[in-house]
Structure 1
């Protein structure tokens, strides 16, 4: 009885004023049972709120993965203190399920290779993956911009390249290779430029051919 009285005094001395009023007329056994009921009810409510926050925790796209995972690790540690620890495998699955779509390749690779890591190690891997995603994302944007710039450069001048030098005059003033001489029956020149025709016309002039005859020949050019 003396020991019970000492323990009762010690317990009352460590309580808040509200709890002291509730337990000042109880013996040690009744005080312990009443405190269990009060604390277990609070623990259940805290466990419910903590587990709800853990399982509903979702990372928004673009937010830092480090702060998100550290917050979830805090919830997991709180559940462990309340007597409901999560195994590393289940805790890892809960964290991976909370990640946004940009981490889908990482999650797929993690599950396919059956990687087993502690939560701090998983945090380090996710930070590395986040850094790689930022680098690859900036490169892809740069490539798209470069491709657009090249396309615009090609579109100048309605997509037609202007001929330069001697080749620029050939379509307008030159003679097409498909031009056919009606006198010589060969391609590559016209009758007015035919060397055989010019030679015969020169001979006819020297032989005193009439100009009317030449005109007749010229009419067939």
Structure 2
């Protein structure tokens, strides 16, 4: 006991040595508990309060959040108030935002047992996956909007293209055949017989369809 008392005194500050130099080892321990027990209780209260009220905000890094909570848990362990791994895991999972609900549901349904460092690695992976999926969905929306705009522009120019397509590029081909007089080498719109019939129909106020049957019957 004398050797233990000397060893304890050697590790104390000069102020504490003066207070305990006439005590044995047992009395030293009891006196130190009375001095520091109240301080340790207050520290334990503040640490446990910070741990159980710790909540992760949406979009913040999950790794830094979990490491901070693990620090609180280690401090409580040093103060003599250790949490078991299962309870510590539940406290961390309950502090996560709504975006991690699928992860928490899968974790509990499969009854996964992991240490706190292993849980930290899993949450970091889940957090990176959430960021990737979010960026892809935004990209898809932007691409869809771009396609709609391009389509609308194409529809606005479709009518002029159809009118231009009716015009021959290199004059009338020798193989071209008039649909009215059935002669080769001219178009219906340039056919003299067709143009003459149109003038007559306008003068008489009658309708004229311009088919070969009407021409023959006339």
TM-score band (shorter)? 0.5 to 0.7
Q: CA deviation at 1:121?
A: 1.3
Matched with 1:70 is 67
SS in 2 for 1:60: coil
Give the Cα–Cα distance (whole angstroms) in 2 for the partners of residues 192 and 72 of structure 1: 88
Matched with 1:156 is 153
Change (3 A) 1:59 1:195: closer
Asked if residue 135 in structure 1 is aligned to residue 132 in structure 2, the reply is yes
Matched with 1:109 is 106
Post-superposition CA distance 1:109-148 (Å, at most 9, x none): 2122222211111111111111211111111111011011
Q: Map of 1:95-106 to 2, 5 A cutoff? A: 95-106=92-103
Q: CA deviation at 1:49?
A: 1.6
RMSD value over aligned CA atoms? 3.1
Give the Cα–Cα distance (whole angstroms) in 1 for the partners of residues 155 and 162 of structure 2: 21
Give the Cα–Cα distance (whole angstroms) in 2 for the partners of residues 197 and 156 of structure 1: 42
Matched with 1:37 is 34
Change (3 A) 1:35 1:161: same
Q: Map of 1:170-189 to 2, 5 A cutoff? A: none
Q: Which 5+ residue runs of structure 2 have no aligned equivalent?
A: 167-188, 190-206
Give the Cα–Cα distance (whole angstroms) in 1 for the partners of residues 155 and 46 of structure 2: 66
Change (3 A) 1:27 1:90: closer
Give the Cα–Cα distance (whole angstroms) in 2 for the partners of residues 166 and 135 of structure 1: 49
Post-superposition CA distance 1:31-86 (Å, at most 9, x none): 33211112222221221121112111222222221222122112112222222211
1:80 and 1:86 in contact (8 A); partners too = yes
Give the Cα–Cα distance (whole angstroms) in 1 for the partners of residues 137 and 216 of structure 2: 71
Give the Cα–Cα distance (whole angstroms) in 2 for the partners of residues 8 and 192 of structure 1: 126
Q: Which 5+ residue runs of structure 1 have no aligned equivalent?
A: 175-189, 202-221
TM-score norm. by structure 1 comes to: 0.67
Give the Cα–Cα distance (whole angstroms) in 2 for the partners of residues 71 and 140 of structure 1: 31
Q: CA deviation at 1:197?
A: 5.6
May I ask how many residue pairs the two structures share in their alignment?
A: 180
Give the Cα–Cα distance (whole angstroms) in 2 for the partners of residues 127 and 113 of structure 1: 19
Matched with 2:171 is none
